[in-house]
Amino acid sequence: MEVILKKDIPSLGYKNDVVTVKNGYGRNYLIPQGIAVLATSSSVKVHQENMKQSAHKQEKIKNEAIALAEKLKTSVVKIGAKTSSTGKIFGSVNTIQIAEMLKEQGVEVDRRNIKITEESIKEVGFYNAIVKLHKEVTAEFKFEVVAE
């Protein structure tokens, strides 16, 4: 069964994608929840027309995301954390703190779109993170954990 997604679903696809799913999943979950619509010939034509109209807007958003990615690659985000005398952090640094520091620098990023490359950050130092700015644009940036 082919459906047109109305929302982003992490393991399935992005909004406005036409995807093939099993009949039960489509009829019993996606369509009743309003997450997708059945991809009939008329709905596909309407969908294609809407996609043509929104292509220009999407290109503009993608270019802004690319510019933001370049800005992030050159910057270093500093995150303050309470530490012991040996340099160990009380607790750990997470994506919420990184998102807040990026917001202070003028970059609005949802914390769920940030992925820290290390398992857990328990010491002061430099680390890397990857942020997903657009479905086709990701940026890797460095952040520094400093003692407060």
- Work out the widest C-alpha separation in the chain, in whole angstroms: 67
pLDDT at 93: 85
| Residue 83 pLDDT greater than 90, yes or no | no
Query: 118 or 22: whose pLDDT is higher?
Result: 22
Return the percentage of the chain with pLDDT > 70, whole number. 100
Q: What distances in angstroms separate CA 99 from CA 24, 128, 141, one per listed residue?
A: 38, 14, 12
| Residue 134 pLDDT greater than 90, yes or no | no
pLDDT at 22: 95
Nearest CA among 19, 79, 38 for reference residue 10: 19
Please give the CATH topology (third level) of the domain spanning 2-62: Ribosomal Protein L9; domain 1 (3.40.5)
| Residue 56 pLDDT greater than 90, yes or no | no
Q: What global pTM score does this model have?
A: 0.61
Q: Which residue ranges does the chain devote to CATH 3.10.430.100?
A: 67-147
What's the average model confidence in pLDDT over 37-49?
90
Give 1's pLDDT tier (boundaries 50, 70, 90): very high
Nearest CA among 66, 11, 9, 75 for reference residue 36: 9
Q: Which residue ranges does the chain devote to CATH 3.40.5.10?
A: 2-62
Q: CATH top-level class for 67-147?
A: alpha beta
| Residue 92 pLDDT greater than 90, yes or no | no
